[in-house]
Amino acid sequence: MARLPALKRFAKAHGLKMITVRDLIAYRVAREELVERVATAKPPTQFGEFSVHGYRARFENVEAEHVALSMGDVASGEPVPARVESERLTGHALASPRCDRRDQVTAAMKRIGEEGRGVLLYLRQEGRGIGLMNKLKAYELQDQGLDTVEANERLGFKADHREYGIGVQILMDLGVRKARILTNDPQKASVWLYGFEVVERIPLEVPVRPTDRAYLSTKRRELGHFLPAVPDDERG
């Protein structure tokens, strides 16, 4: 496989133009409709009245369903508070105290409710994008002493396998063009390079418990998350 320097020489020698994979993704996200809004409802929540939008993403003969919760006027052109949440069965549905994801959803919805406008995306990419069964295998490896990053890598995956292009398309379908991202993850504020502007990163402060201390320590140490200092000798 040719490396970048060789490709540049080849392109120059033959008068060809070059683009990156990132450029190709940006082009497709900006010009192709990869998502379809299929339903909108207004179920009550403890944080105020949200509209819940159901989306179906279609690409390469694969269908995936996602949800966006919006409050207030998010299409005014002003920067919108936005939280991008990836599915996590154990944290969201089973309320596992090993995971802080349910607390982050609560904090994000509370923040949006207080401001009176914003969007929470719920993307169906379980376990940092590796799928439910593989996530359960990763938990099994964590029970044997590996941390969350080591477990994913032992299974042959990257530490974080998620992709956010579909999330950008959903936000743009809702009329959002500028966002204030609610996250402790620096990667979420840096991957939105598809003609979509992130103007601010807003941290989500959630309590640190003894049961998720090791997990949060790993996220801070291995993935660069902006989190309170926790003992680095604990692993999760």
Q: Is this model's pTM higher than 0.75 or not? A: no
What's the CATH code of the domain at 51? 3.40.50.10990
Residue 199: predicted pLDDT: 87
**Residues 169, 64: one domain?**
yes
Q: Which two tokens stand for residue 46?
A: 């403890």
**Residues 121, 5: one domain?**
no
Q: Give 3-state DSSP helix, strand, coil % of the chain, rounded to 5.
A: 35, 25, 40
Split into its structural domains, the chain has a count of 2
Q: Residue range 31-51: average pLDDT? A: 90
Residue 223 confidence (pLDDT) above 60: no
Model confidence at 81, pLDDT cuts 50, 70, 90, reads very high
98 in active site: no
Q: Select which of 160, 180, 185, 212 is catalytic.
A: 160
Instruction: State the sign of the Cα–Cα–Cα–Cα dihedral 43, 47, 52, 58.
Output: negative
**CA-atom Rg of the chain in angstroms:** 19
232 in active site: no
Q: Select which of 128, 162, 180, 212 is catalytic.
A: 162
Residue 130, in any domain of the structure: no
Triad 199, 202, 205: Cα angle to 5°: 175
Q: Per-residue pLDDT tens for 2-13? A: 788 888 888 889
Residue 68 confidence (pLDDT) above 90: yes
Which domain does 83 fall in, by range? 34-125+162-205
The answer to whether 104 touches 92, Cβ cutoff 8 Å, is no
